[in-house]
């Protein structure tokens, strides 16, 4: 099996019927890039920047961030690198920020909500990213976007810093794609409106599932409700992909679901363009995809989306891809 995987390491990801998708890696530090490339990543689909901020006594400087982003971009060469801006709060705390305790941290002051209110934290990160953009193929992504106004404000600040850098004579890449994570049901439902303004979507199913099912992703007692293949999730995912394609944009996924062998055929059939996962899942996923027919699964899309329960979905997809 490992030999079968190894053969596909430097190959594009092509399905049995000739459709192409991108398999990217989720990373947390510049040190993860070597492993991603070794496992055949075609890009970085999610660079979680929280590690730069966590486990220390103060905010990372713009310079420190610039070095980290530049390192990732240089190591990846021409390959795309999607960097997510700071997603703090929820399960990820920063001791030195002294944020108020909240009753519901996952529904609280986190990620883009925090950044928009703390520009002294947000702007240095954006400047570091823009400066690093000259060294590779950077795409910038905002986390936990719930409304279009949030996206517009965040992008406005980004463009403002871009102008500042231009005035300082610092080189910044042209045409950096700016996209959002789709982790909140409001955004998944109104994806058509977002698609007119964002350059891409990356579906964050880890959070999207918990918010859609109202089941804390860390709470064992309600884990039975945490159902990635539930028709509610599949319909939201489908809505996002269709909205993106209608506007000529791409849709990826960077939650755990993207590397899940049961979900992969479903996501392929729904038309997902980019699958971002832990590095070690990439070659198994590429092998699996090489044996799937996108058209065959897509021809059953309406049926799939009309299913009533998770069990029905799982049984249906098993019949379709394994027993056909
Ligand atoms: C997600 O929510 O799916 C995601 C990728 O972000 P995180 O797991 O960092 O919340
Ligand atoms: Mg998330």
Q: Which atom of ligand 1 is nearest to the CA of 206?
A: 3
For residue 182, what are the β-bridge partners?
203
**Neighbour count for residue 169 (Cβ, 10 Å):** 6
The tens digit of pLDDT for each residue in 138-156 reads 999 999 999 999 999 999 9
Per DSSP, 124 falls in state H
pLDDT at 301 over 70: yes
Measured distance CA(252)–CA(237) in Å, rounded: 10
What global pTM score does this model have?
Answer: 0.97
pLDDT on residue 45: 98
Distance 229 CA to ligand 2 centre (A): 18
Average pLDDT over the chain reads 96
Catalytic residues, by residue number, are 254
* CB neighbour burial string for 78-89, b if at least 16 within 10 angstroms, e if fewer: ebbbbbbbbbbb
DSSP 77-109: TTSEEEEEPP--BTTB--GGG-PPP-S-GGGSS
Using DSSP's 3-state secondary structure scheme, residue 204 falls into coil
Please name the residue whose Cα sits nearest to atom 1 of ligand 1: 204
**Residues 210-239, mean pLDDT to the nearest whole number:** 97
Distance 203 CA to ligand 2 centre (A): 9
The tens digit of pLDDT for each residue in 114-127 reads 999 999 999 999 99
Compute the residue count for the chain: 324
ipTM over 0.95: yes
């Amino acid at each position: 099996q490992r030999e079968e995987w190894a053969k596909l390491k430097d190959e594009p990801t092509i399905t049995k019927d000739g459709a192409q998708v991108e398999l990217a890696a989720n990373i947390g530090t510049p040190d993860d890039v070597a492993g991603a490339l070794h496992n055949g990543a075609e890009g970085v689909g999610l660079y979680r920047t929280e590690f730069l901020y966590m486990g220390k006594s103060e905010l990372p400087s713009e310079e420190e961030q610039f070095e980290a982003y530049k390192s990732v971009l240089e190591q990846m060469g021409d390959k795309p690198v999607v960097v997510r801006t700071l997603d703090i709060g929820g399960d990820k705390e920063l001791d030195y920020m002294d944020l108020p305790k909240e009753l519901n941290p996952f529904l609280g002051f986190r990620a883009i909500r925090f950044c928009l209110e703390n520009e002294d934290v947000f702007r240095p990160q954006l400047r570091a990213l823009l400066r690093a953009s000259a060294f590779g193929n950077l795409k910038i992504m905002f986390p936990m976007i719930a409304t279009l106004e949030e996206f517009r404000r965040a992008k406005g600040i980004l463009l403002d810093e871009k102008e500042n850098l231009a005035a300082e004579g610092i080189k910044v890449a042209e045409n950096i794609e700016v996209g959002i994570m789709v982790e909140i049901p409001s955004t998944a439902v109104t994806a058509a409106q977002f698609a007119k303004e964002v350059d891409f979507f990356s579906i964050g199913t880890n959070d999207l599932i918990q918010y859609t099912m109202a089941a804390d992703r860390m709470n064992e007692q309600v884990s039975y409700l945490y159902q990635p293949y539930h028709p509610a999730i599949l319909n939201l995912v489908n809505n996002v992909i269709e909205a993106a394609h209608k506007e000529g944009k791409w849709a990826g996924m960077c939650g755990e679901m993207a590397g899940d062998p049961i979900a992969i055929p479903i996501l392929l059939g729904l038309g997902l363009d980019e699958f971002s996962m832990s590095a070690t899942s990439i070659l198994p996923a590429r092998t699996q995809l090489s044996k799937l027919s996108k058209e065959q699964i897509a021809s059953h899309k309406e049926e799939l989306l009309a299913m009533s329960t998770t069990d029905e979905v799982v049984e249906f997809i098993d019949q379709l891809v394994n027993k056909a």
